[in-house]
Amino acid sequence: MISRQEAVLSFVKFNKFFKQLNYDIGVTGKVHLSQYADELMEFEQWVDNVIEYVLFNPDPKIIDLISALGSSEIIKNYAEEGKAVLEASTYDALSKVIDSTAKLLSLVNESIEASKGKFTSLPEAFAFQDAENLFLRAVKAGYLTSDFQPKGDTDLYTLKILGFAIGEELKLAPRHKWSHFEELWNIDYANKLSSVPISAKQFQRAKTLMELYPEVDFNLLIKPKEDSFFTAAYGNRRIRTLYKELVAYGYISKETDYDNFLSIFNLGNSKFVRPVEWISDQRHLAYFIHHTFTKTNKNCWVKTHACFTINGAPPNLGTMKSGIVSLQRKPTYETYDLVLKRIASEYNNELQ
């Protein structure tokens, strides 16, 4: 019988091996299995040790450790894309790592489902009575089915307002403000609730829904928070020039109206921030933001996530930050995009 100490040690060893393998493939784009000779001989036994222990002792702390393991998507993509050129031994080894990871995560899912008891229709984050009671209000009012799924005429705007109300009542952490609801309602990345705008008209139409949760202040849903828009440090004239230049050089769509652009500065007639679609790539957006706003705006990357979209989705915070750091290390950084650099310098009045 495997002891708890052996199970924890086995997981720590596998986790270290798995994370390093993910890092090597993700950063360098290749892997040399010779440097993992010892791990490759033992990692399947480590996984078996963990599984054997948890099956007989569903320790919540160990289950939490496993749930934080992360996805094997990077390794899987690398193996599949390189299948034709990778050595058979390398491909087989990577496949076994992928399978082992899947076994561990499957064990976690089974344990979570078993612990949820009667709350099987809700994700783990909502698997308790107070949360179910909040969802039942929407069920009884006809917005959700008995298993808490949206009815046919319940649109994304309604789901966002509903999610906001329940999230406020449960005091969800900001980083999980929408993700648990997106998991429950199977909302894909292209339709993320965080990027669904709620207009003043839609806000008024949702009065009946909001009456289900009288204890919630729904004004916070459409009132822009400081990190959801850029501070306009220099006034409307420079903003208009910035807008015209970005449109003229093809960084944002010509269909972006000026009032839309003003909204990301919490200006103009719009009562909420309407994200601007950036039609260049994410690294150019990061380069633009770094040169244009870092001197006048705190948390400019968080604001970028709130104020811009690429292909309809918010840009990735981590990728933007790492991308700009990577660019700064290159000797070509200052000349990476001279047009964007000039546009930023004009906005900040830095041209000589």
Domain boundary among 79, 100, 116: 116
Residues 337 and 242 in one domain: yes
pLDDT in tens, 101-142: 888 888 877 766 665 556 777 888 888 889 999 999 999 999
pLDDT-derived band at 312, boundaries 50, 70, 90: confident
Q: Are residues 203 and 287 in the same domain?
A: no
Select the more confidently predicted residue: 48 or 70.
Answer: 48
Determine, yes or no, domain membership for 253: yes
Q: Does 188 share its domain with 201?
A: yes
Angle, helices 338-347 vs 236-248, to 10°: value is: 170
Q: Give pLDDT, residue 229.
A: 84
* Reported confidence tier of residue 32, pLDDT bands at 50, 70, 90: confident
Same domain, 109 and 130: no
133 shares a domain with 32: no
251 and 304 in a single domain? The answer is yes
Same domain as 205, residue 258 = no
Supply 335's token pair.
């000349």
Q: Are residues 303 and 291 in the same domain?
A: yes
Average pLDDT over all residues of the chain: 86
Cβ contacts of 149 within 8 Å, gap of 6 or more: 184, 185
pLDDT of 146 reads: 86
Looking at the structure, do residues 135 and 105 belong to the same domain, yes or no?
Answer: no
Helix/strand number for the chain, H first, E second:
17, 2
Q: Percent of the chain, pLDDT > 70? A: 93
List beta partners, residue 126: none
Q: Is 352 domain-assigned?
A: no
In a domain, 84, yes or no: yes
Look up the domain containing 180 and give its range: 124-222
State which H helix or E strand residue 25 sits in. helix 4-28
Q: Are residues 159 and 62 in the same domain?
A: no
Residue 48: its pLDDT value, please?
92
Same domain, 163 and 80: no
| Same domain? 135 vs 35 | no
- How many domains does the chain contain in total? 3
pLDDT category at 166 given cuts 50, 70, 90 is very high
Band the pLDDT of 246: cuts 50, 70, 90. Answer: very high
Q: Is the pTM of this model over 0.75?
A: no
**pLDDT score of 242 more than 60:** yes
Give pLDDT, residue 280.
Answer: 93
